[in-house]
Amino acid sequence: MKNIFFVIIFILTISCKNDEKQTVINGNIPNLPDGIMYLSNPEGDKIDSAKTIKGVFTITHKWNEKEPTYIKVNHIDKKGILRFFSFTTNAKYKGTPGWSTDVFYSDTIISLYGKFKENPPIKGYKLPYNIKDVSGVAIKAGRQTEAYYNIDGDLFDKIDGKMIQTVKEKINKYPYSYHLLYQINDNKNSFSPQQIDEYLKLFKGDITESESTKNYPHIIRRDLQLRIMICH
């Protein structure tokens, strides 16, 4: 009986561990000075950190959030120089290919590798001497970042027939993309309830059971009710 109890505890422990969401970021940036690499949210709030030695570091972070989220990294060396990292995508912004962003998704395993380079200053804007905007580091991540980096940065800027069709095509290609799901939610007032419903039916896999997806039926019903009231 005692042995059965411990077996049950072991199974429950394993199950809990499997349910934990975790991101491991491995870095090898040869020209990065020794210091601290910080993991933060898009607003810059620090989430986790790790020491960098000769450009090598590993950040392991367990998430309380059940859904993927946007994250970014920045580095402070021993001289107090702060470096903000941006990464080149495979998509366009305002027609220009390879637009850059400082955020990526909290995929399970992420690799950052290669030398960084300092970006030239923006005309008319000068950073403090101890803040550097850098790029050039390659990123290899999971499918959430892959989808995000293959979707044009201005896709949702102009809501028209072409954009509505493009979003459908992107969902068909990346039916697991939380970036698309979040963007549809952020721009939900630009879509009809029917259009949102059509989009939701295109998603596949675990994302269809997410809290964000489950909240949509309520949003669709509410919007329909509001529009009926306005029409009357």
- For the chain, what are the domain ranges? 2-148, 161-231
**Cα–Cα distance between 124 and 197 in angstroms, integer?**
45
Q: pLDDT grade, residue 31 (50/70/90)?
A: very high
96: region left, alpha or beta (phi > 0 left; psi from -120 to 50 alpha): beta
For a pLDDT cut of 90, what percent of the chain falls above it? 78
Least confident of 12-16, 41-45, 181-185: 12-16
The pTM (predicted TM-score) of the whole model is 0.84
Kindly tell me if the per-residue pLDDT of 178 is higher than 80.
yes
**Cα–Cα distance between 80 and 75 in angstroms, integer?**
9
- At which residue do the structure tokens 């979707």 appear? 151
Q: Give Cβ neighbours of residue 59 (< 8 Å, ≥ 6 apart).
A: 23, 24, 25, 27, 37, 39, 48, 49, 50, 73
Kindly tell me if the per-residue pLDDT of 18 is higher than 50.
no
Task: Quote the mean pLDDT of the chain.
Answer: 88
Residue 218's pLDDT is what? 56
Q: CB–CB of 112/138 below 8 Å?
A: yes
Residue 224's pLDDT is what? 43
Mean pLDDT across the stretch 153-158?
Answer: 95
Mean pLDDT across the stretch 81-95?
Answer: 97
92: three-class secondary structure by DSSP? strand
Residue 214's pLDDT is what? 85
State the SS3 of 118-132: ECCCCCCCCCCCCEE
**Cα 91 to chain center, whole Å?**
15
Per residue in 100-125, pLDDT (tens digit) is 999 999 999 999 999 999 999 888 88
